[in-house]
Amino acid sequence: MNYEVIDSHCHLDFPKFNKDRHETIMRAKESGVVLMINSGIDYKTNANSLELAKKYDFIHATLGLSPQMVPETNNERINQILAQMERNVDKAIGIGEAGLDFYYCTDEAGKQKQKEVFQKVIDIADQYNKTLVIHGRDGEELALEMTRDLDRVVFHCYGGTIETMKDIVDAGHYVSVPTLVCFSDHHKEIAKNLPLENMLIETDSPFLSPRKGRNEPVFVRDSVPVISQLKETDEAEIAKATMQNTLRAFEL
């Protein structure tokens, strides 16, 4: 179907796209993916995201510090990344991805370090009035508690409980449904229960592909008919709502 969509979270700077980055971007654009939000996770990818946003007027950058990076990153480097965020905040539409990931990190010292760093990132988003993009795997409830008072928050690639999702919605935050919805029963349940006015859609490219091989922004379109069926709403309405929500979430 002929409708416009936004990929609210991708990593087009990652090495998986080195051979055909421009072609991948244009393939998405020509298919009706009118905006792509490229999310940084560390110093290098933040810089890369800013470069992409400079090169393509339909790509926007967010500047992040992934919780997966935090336990093994020394404090000096963490402070460099935080300073980089502040220095470039006016060139980005949001801060993130950042948050808590307790899926692999099970030791208390690692969790504590994640919490401390996340709080510093929250403070930057708050100080500069930027949308915060949260990575919250197995840490969704605590991430919500830490960000409840912020104005604009997106829980990217949400995979937590339905109960916590409802709390996120009650706080006025947004929840982004990944292309996992095409094959994951849990993500189908999330999409079914998530109010359309709080929903964004994303690929998280090059990860979580609904097709064989790597994911890419054009595949965000695969999610629309699936969500349409779950919501018993036509595809154009899903595309329009998620697009408007993304523009509102990031004040675009």
Binding residues for a divalent metal cation: 9, 11, 97, 135, 156, 204
Tell me the C-alpha to C-alpha distance, in Å, between residue 46 and each of 99, 121, 186. Answer: 16, 14, 31
In this structure, the chain runs to a length of: 252
State the Cα–Cα distance between residues 82 and 193, nearest whole angstrom.
Answer: 35
Which residue from 202, 35, 199 is spatially nearest to 210, judged by alpha carbons? 202
Query: Please, is 214 exposed, middle or buried when counting C-beta atoms within 10 Å of its C-beta (0-12, 13-18, 19+)?
Result: middle
State the Cα–Cα distance between residues 194 and 31, nearest whole angstrom.
Answer: 26
Q: Residues within the annotated binding site?
A: 9, 11, 97, 135, 156, 204
- 69 residue type, one letter: M
Which residue from 19, 37, 15, 39 is spatially nearest to 28, judged by alpha carbons? 37
Q: Which two tokens stand for residue 107?
A: 């030791």
Question: Hey, which bits of the chain come out as E strands?
Answer: 5-10, 33-39, 59-65, 94-99, 131-135, 153-155, 174-178, 199-202
State the Cα–Cα distance between residues 37 and 10, nearest whole angstrom.
Answer: 6
